[in-house]
Amino acid sequence: MEELRHVFSDGAVIAKRNVIRIRRVPDVLVFVLISPIMFVLLFAYVFGNSIDIPGGSYREFLIGGIFAQTVVFGATFTGAGLAEDIQKGVIDRFRSLPMSQSAVVVGRTASDVIYNALSLSIMALAGLVVGWRIHTSVADAVLGFALLLLFAYAFSWIMAYVGLLVPSVEVINNAAFIVIFPLTFIANTFVPAESLPTPLRTFAEWNPVSAVTQAVREQFGNIPPGTPEPTAWPLQNPVIYTLIWVAIIIAIFAPLSVHRYQRISRG
């Protein structure tokens, strides 16, 4: 119990250190605060009148997908941040301090929840400007945002392991783009899954990004009345399916990340 307390207290210090970087590193500030606005405005006005959503608004359909895509891409901060700390020797400094060995990874993933919360807040405001609205209760909306942050937190553990395994910021960013880009586009993020060719449709229906997107659309009331019920189990039960993926990812990659960091810290 005492060891666990040290992990969280030391992790909170590391998380605070990472959050402070938002003010001091311009590229982080751009991604956290400006990119979300760009994504919302770009997709809303470029594709807003090109894709038909029967009985509903594409802009309302769009926002759930934009939310999901942005928090998944935001998780790459974990891998890039850890890789940068290794390259610059910051990890060596942490190793010399009387702190929990797990705190660096715990703090890094926790700080990215704050990054994503800021991005979601900015995107929500931009969404309101282009016509997006929440049609459900406050409790449902809070659950929707919580699911997004929880999924992003789980995904950040994958990126933490990758960042510790391949401590190169350039490689992390390129690899993340190659993997995350198709993962977020072969989904129901920007078009209904039913409109995709059969092989891609099957992938999209079981894609966890589709599930979290479907879940937040339901929680925000952004699915038009009369929309056919999904035929795939993950989209029929998107909240449960999302939570299953969150549990699996954390159960696998949190221990792997901590173990990998401990190996690196022992030099």
Parent domain of 115: 2-265
What is the rounded average pLDDT of the residues 119-130? 88
Q: Does residue 130 carry a pLDDT above 70? A: yes
Higher per-residue pLDDT: 61 or 31: 61
Give the span between the Cα atoms of 158 and 253, in whole angstroms: 6
How would you label 111-145 residue by residue, b for 16+ Cβ within 10 Å and e otherwise? bbbbbbbbbbebbbebbeebebebeeeeeebebbb
Higher per-residue pLDDT: 226 or 252: 252
Q: 228, 190, 188: which is closest to 211 by C-alpha?
A: 188
H-helix or E-strand spanning residue 147: helix 138-165
The per-residue pLDDT for 241 is 97
Give the span between the Cα atoms of 33 and 120, in whole angstroms: 9
* Number of structural domains in the chain: 1
The per-residue pLDDT for 122 is 87
Q: Per residue in 203-231, pLDDT tens?
A: 999 999 999 999 999 999 998 887 788 88
Running DSSP on this structure, what letter comes out for residue 99?
A: S
Q: Per residue in 182-192, pLDDT tens?
A: 899 999 998 88
**Single pTM value for the model:** 0.89
Higher per-residue pLDDT: 74 or 157: 157
Share of the chain above pLDDT 70, in %: 86
Mean pLDDT for all residues in the chain? 84
Q: Does residue 61 carry a pLDDT above 70? A: yes
Q: Please work out, in degrees rounded to the nearest 5, the angle formed at the alpha carbon of residue 50 by the alpha carbons of 47 and 53.
A: 100
Give the span between the Cα atoms of 153 and 96, in whole angstroms: 28
The per-residue pLDDT for 148 is 96
**82-86, 124-128, 241-245: the lowest-pLDDT one:** 82-86
The per-residue pLDDT for 27 is 66
What is the rounded average pLDDT of the residues 2-30? 68
Q: Per residue in 145-189, pLDDT tens?
A: 999 999 999 999 999 998 888 877 778 878 788 888 889 999 999
